[in-house]
Structure 1
Amino acid sequence: MVDTSIGTPEQLRDPNYTPPLHKAVPLGIQHVLAMFVSNVTPAIIVAGAAGFGFGSNSPDFPELLYLIQMSMLFAGIATLLQTITLGPVGSALPIVQGTSFAFLPIMIPLVAGKGVDGLAALFTGVIVGGIFHSLLGTVIGKIRFALPPLVTGLVVTMIGLALVKVGIQYAAGGVPAIGTPEYGSLLNWSAALVVILVTLGLKFFTKGMLSVSAVLLGLIVGYIYALMTGMLTFEAISGSWERAAAFALPQPFKYGVEFSAAAIIGFCLMSFVSAVETVGDVSGVTKGGAGREATDKEIAGATYADGVGTAFAGFFGAFPNTSFSQNVGLIAMTGVMSRHVVTCGAIFLIVCGLVPKVGAVIRTVPIEVLGGGVIVMFGMVVAAGVSMLSDVDWNRRNMVIFAIALSIGLGLQLEPGALQHMPDTARILLTSGLLPAALIAIVLNLLLPNELTGEATEEVSGGMSGQGRGSLPHEDRA
């Protein structure tokens, strides 16, 4: 329910309205709570894929802390670009930026088993991809025709499907534990299940702040459970805390520069998906918070901010940023459209990003506990893709496009060995599954003719027939 004590209905719909500070700060922190776990999780996943040791005594410990720290810092900076703006960069709307899950299927193969050595090519790709992304701001309105819900829904679904395996591995004990006796133990799974059950309980049986921050609170309960069962010790927490600095600044080109065709092509292609996602989020913010359509200037400014924020992040060892959809729903729920509220949240993120001890505490979360949260989050990515696909007119043409793109994309992802004779660059791009699926869907959607209306109702395999847009088969009506 909208809290009218914050301001009049007209003020609440105004992005330039500033609520009283004692109201704005808690509302801003609420935005951070809604996205905090999703924002730092990609850094932990990439570190795990690279083979970083997660113990406080590991030589990789400082690098893991740095990646977490940069995720927070540059999410805050990118959010400021959206709310405060810098020339044409920024939408001047309450858009919250954070580390994008969409790029994980590209980043994981780039760093797999390479340790720190794989990060130079990755972050060079982030920089180039960010610059390319910002250029999309000049044409984003003209290329949207090539990315209908059939394409974007497929891509988002593929992102989630590519990542659900990670959630299961984490819940079972993490990638390093595969093949060991403790992998998949009842204790490991119990920690993940505690997180899932608490998250579901808070999400559906509470309201307000408790419901909004359900995943974060679920992880906190899981963290306490890990302490109670001996999966985590106070000595490990104190060791991480003591090794982390109280304050640290980002380091430009910390991991060097390495131009990789796979990284550059992959990040540039995924920028299209991220840009379209941002367009949808901007439209959601203006509709949910102000009851109007987004202007071309707001959409272009948001896309510029996406790209500039990503490129700037790459210089300092942070991952691609994009608008966060969960915060769009939060704006619709609170009814507070003020961009200055989100600015308060961005400042809080920046402060956290400059204090490595915050990252040290996050690092101590057991991988099994994180797995419970990741299962929920990645499952929601798949659900979001399915929701987007509900807007598709499921005639024979669209079903064939979806079937071929999904079969090839998911098949290559499940059986990467089928491409062992391909050049390294092509193999990395294709085995993600995401890019071939997106490319096939885009090309077929542009080339294949639309079917006649009568053909849309022909029976297809399994007895399914094309129905109305996004609908289930109708019952016979007398």
Structure 2
Amino acid sequence: MPRLSAPAFSVAGVQWLFFMVVNTVVVPLSIGMAFGLTEAETAGLIRTSFVTIGIMSLLQATISHRYPLLEGHGGIWWGLVLSLCASAPAMGLSYAELGGSLALGMLLAGAVTIVLGALGFTELLQKIFNPIVLVTYLFLLSVQLILYFFKGMMGISEGGAINLPVAVISVAIVIAVLIMSMKGKGSIANFSILIGMLGGWIAYVVIFGSESAPSNGGTIFHLFPLGGLQLHIGIVVTAFIAGLINMANSLVAISTVEELYDSQTSAKRYKASYYVTGAGTIFAGLFGLIPLGPYSSSIGFLQSTRILQRGPFILGSLLFIILGLVPALGSFFSTLPAPVGDAVLFVAYLQLFSTAIRNIRKLQIETGSLYRLTIPMLVGISILNAPPETFSSFPVMLQPLVSNGLLVGVLLSVIMEIIARDKRKELAH
């Protein structure tokens, strides 16, 4: 990899910073809205997210897996929390009860992640999450979040109508970033994400005006902001399962990025990565965040920018920590228009979706394996598109699990692969 000049290195670090902002800020904003938090409380969540993610990303890049992978809010966790918030009224739960039960589940999941990582759970995880399960996971994760980003970039209201002016700007950003990343050369391709984000932000402000930054930066690291610890067995168990699958997310992200670097990650570095992810999950439970994990969208970012060095990522992580510690800066970046951020993330997850499709092409698909691939995908997508009240007839303890398309799809894939493996063993005997 050619060395970057000092100016290019600095700009690459700033580009990582903006990528971290756009990946992070939409998550606590959506959680604040879902739980009915005040503006100041939401601003505090944003700043806490910035500092926590900056520190954990720095640890991962320097002492754990040592790749430039954003240690961000896990997509599986984010989708789970939003779906539970949508279905909480149908389950007869208050948001404080929901938040408290999720916090307990996150604390348990974080502790178990650290313990299983120390016990060398990676080898077993690699056996369970074979290529078909990994493809199913990547596919459903991409679909789940792309659906969310699509609604945001189109400005779709609760009534289902598209905000046409917002949609036009968002589509223009998507097209511009795709053209720059695929057809551009040199700095244009390398900084396509940053150019698209800044250009889109400026265009949005010119047309629609700017949002006012919160006057109060909010309290950073406020303990249990979503509700004190509660015990709802269904939610705690679902959160626990999400934590195990989030470990698989680490496996997916790291094994996928290995292809870019043509390298092999040692068992020791996998263990260290799980320690950091587990600590991030515990932090999330304590301070009302979405638990962390290596961000698969970082792979799309690396593919789009073609800058694979760790240095700019480390610089971006340090700047991100500073951003969270300074109230005025954190408040300013919280005004990033959601449709602009969603449009850029749409491109990043489009790259991740492409990775899932490429991995499908590598599989030796026969009739049996084809069904084991398509059934979990279609079941997962069907659940993702079903309204929350669809599952109100299920026992309350099961509703958190069965209403999450990503969880159900991945679990179904794992079960089908275990059954197929056992049948192959029987035939071999």
Tell me which interval the TM-score lies in, with the shorter structure as reference length: 0.7 to 0.9
Partner residue of 1:143 out of 125, 130, 139: 125
Rounded to whole Å, the distance in 1 between the matches of 2:244 and 2:86 is 24
Amino acid at match of 2:292: N
Match of 2:309 in 1: 336
Match of 2:145 among 152, 160, 163: 163
1:411 aligns with 2:382: yes
Matched-pair contact (CA < 8 Å) for 1:133–1:306: yes
Q: Which amino acid aligns with 2:2?
A: D
1:264 aligns with 2:242: no
Task: Give the corresponding residue for 2:176.
Answer: 198
CA contact (8 A) 1:232 1:366 kept: no
1:251 and 2:222 are equivalent in the alignment? yes
Partner of 1:232 in structure 2?
A: 209
CA distance in 1, matches of 2:247, 2:186: 30
Question: Paired residue for 1:298?
Answer: 269
Equivalent-residue separation in structure 1 for 2:369 and 2:402 (angstroms): 23
1:397–1:450 Cα contact (<8 Å) kept: no
Aligned twin of 1:178: 158
2:25 aligned with 1:40, yes or no?
A: yes
Deviation at 1:82, TM superposition (A): 2.2
Superposition deviation, residue 344 in structure 1: 3.5
Alignment partner of 1:348 is 2:322 = no
Q: Distance in 2 between matches of 1:356 and 1:190?
A: 33
Does residue 387 (structure 1) correspond to residue 361 (structure 2)? The answer is: no
CA, structure 1 residues 344+265, in 2 after alignment: closer, same or farther (shift >3 Å)? same
Q: Do the aligned residues in 1 keep the contact of 2:65 with 2:265 (CA within 8 Å)?
A: no
Find the aligned partners of 1:60 and 1:40 in 2 and give their Cα distance. 16
Per the alignment, residue 274 of structure 1 pairs with 246
How far residue 398 of structure 1 moved from its aligned partner, in angstroms, is 0.9
Equivalent residues of 1:30, 1:209 under 8 A apart: no
CA apart distance, 1:414: 2.6
For residue 34 of structure 1, report the CA deviation from its aligned partner: 4.2
Inter-partner Cα distance in structure 1 for 2:71 and 2:239: 17
Deviations 1:371-392 (A, max 9, x none): 4234334434433332333332
2:108 counterpart of 1:131: no
Deviation at 1:443, TM superposition (A): 1.0
Following superposition, the deviation at residue 431 of structure 1 comes to 1.4
Among 46, 51, 65, the alignment partner of 1:68 is 46
What's the CA shift for 1:278? 2.2
How many residue pairs get aligned? The number is 412
Tell me, yes or no, if the aligned pair for 1:167 and 1:378 is still in contact at 8 Å: no
- Residue by residue over 1:414-466, the C-alpha shift from the partner in whole angstroms, topping out at 9 and shown as x without a partner, is 335443211223122111111221111111111125899xxxxxxxxxxxxxx
SS in 2 for 1:322: strand
Q: Which amino acid aligns with 2:249?
A: E
Q: Deviations over 1:92-137 (max 9, x none)?
A: 5555412222322211122238796343333333222222222231
Checking the alignment, whether the CA contact within 8 Å between 1:152 and 1:273 is kept in structure 2 is no
Secondary structure of the 2:159 match is coil
- Cα distance in 2 between the residues matched to 1:149 and 1:40: 32
Aligned-residue CA RMSD (Å): 3.3
Q: Distance in 1 between matches of 2:186 and 2:260?
A: 17
TM-superposed deviation, 1:325: 3.9
**Matched AA of 1:156:** L
Per the alignment, in what secondary structure is the counterpart of residue 398 of structure 2? helix
Structure with greater Cα Rg: 1
Could you say which residue in structure 2 is the equivalent of 1:103?
Answer: 77
1:446 aligns with 2:418: yes
Does the C-alpha gap of structure 1 residues 262 and 215 become closer, same or farther in structure 2, counting only changes over 3 Å? farther
Change in Cα spacing, 1:335 to 1:435, as seen in structure 2 (3 Å) is closer
Letter in 2 for 1:349: F
Structure holding more helix per residue:
2
Matches within 5 A, 1:420-439: 420-439=392-411
Which of these residues, 279, 288, 294, is aligned with residue 323 of structure 1?
A: 294
8 Å Cα contact 2:45/2:220 also seen in 1:
no
Q: Deviations over 1:171-219 (max 9, x none)?
A: 3325xx3228xx4132121222232233223322434555345344323
Stretches of structure 1 lacking an aligned partner (at least 5 in a row)? 7-20, 53-58, 453-478
Work out whether 1:369 is the aligned partner of 2:340.
yes
- The share of aligned pairs that are identical, in percent, is 18
Change (3 A) 1:353 1:153: same
TM-score by length of 2: 0.83
Q: Report the CA distance shift for 1:249/1:210 in structure 2 as closer, same or farther (over 3 A).
A: farther
Aligned to 1:10: none
- Given the superposition, is the C-alpha separation of residues 23 and 429 from structure 1 closer, same or farther in structure 2, using an over 3 Å criterion? same
Asked if the contact 1:69–1:356 (Cα under 8 Å) also holds between the matched residues in 2, the reply is: yes
Q: For the residues of structure 2 that align with 1:25 and 1:208, how far apart are their CA atoms? A: 16
Task: Give me the whole-angstrom Cα distance separating, in 2, the residues matched to 1:136 and 1:110.
Answer: 27
Which of 101, 112, 118 is the aligned partner of 2:86?
Answer: 112
Distance 1:51 1:271, change over 3 A: closer
Q: Deviations over 1:264-322 (max 9, x none)?
A: 32333233333233234444556644x54221111121122211222123312222111
Q: 1:5 to 1:34 in 2, by over 3 A?
A: closer
**5 Å matches for 1:454-465?**
none
CA 1:212–1:273 in structure 2 vs 1: closer, same or farther (change >3 Å)? farther
Alignment of 1:301-312 (within 5 A): 301-312=272-283
Determine if contact 1:401/1:441 at 8 Å carries over to the other structure.
yes
Equivalent-residue separation in structure 1 for 2:87 and 2:194 (angstroms): 29
Q: Determine the C-alpha separation between the residues in 2 that align with 1:412 and 1:335.
A: 37
Between the aligned partners of 2:364 and 2:381, the Cα distance in structure 1 is 22
Match of 1:220 in 2: 198
Unmatched segments (≥5 aa) in structure 2: 89-93, 425-429
Separation in 2, partners of 1:42, 1:390: 32
Distance 1:163 1:370 in 2: 13
Q: Give the drift of 1:395.
A: 0.7
Q: Which residue of 1 aligns with 2:2?
A: 3
Matches of 1:376 and 1:151 in 2, distance apart?
Answer: 24
